[in-house]
């Protein structure tokens, strides 16, 4: 997966996760809220992976 794909999927997972988290909180659905927290975290990791790939590529390009 390319760094752009990682970043896009990461941001999408963060948004969907945050929505699930908020809906779960509002409806007092702890399971949905927990799923949202987990998906949000997954998105943050995906985005960080994309950022790391960019940093590595940038470092290699400078050689």
**Largest distance between two CA atoms of the chain:** 54
Structural domain boundaries, residue 24? 3-61
Residue 3 is encoded by which pair of tokens?
């760094």
**Cα 52–chain centre separation:** 14
Q: For position 51, what pLDDT does the model report? A: 96
Q: Report angle CA 13, 8, 6 to the nearest 5 degrees.
A: 90
Stretch among 10-19, 21-30, 33-42, 49-58 having the lowest mean pLDDT: 49-58
Task: Look at residue 63 and tell me whether its pLDDT is greater than 90.
Answer: no
> Model confidence over 8-31: pLDDT tens digits?
999 999 999 999 999 999 999 999
Could you give the number of structural domains in the chain?
1
Averaged pLDDT for residues 40-46: 98
């Amino acid at each position: 997966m390319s760094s752009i794909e990682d970043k896009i999927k990461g941001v999408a997972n963060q948004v969907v996760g945050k929505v699930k988290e908020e809906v779960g909180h509002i409806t007092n659905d702890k399971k949905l809220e927990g799923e949202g927290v987990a998906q949000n975290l997954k998105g943050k990791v995906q985005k960080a992976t994309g950022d790391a790939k960019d940093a590595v590529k940038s470092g290699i390009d400078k050689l």
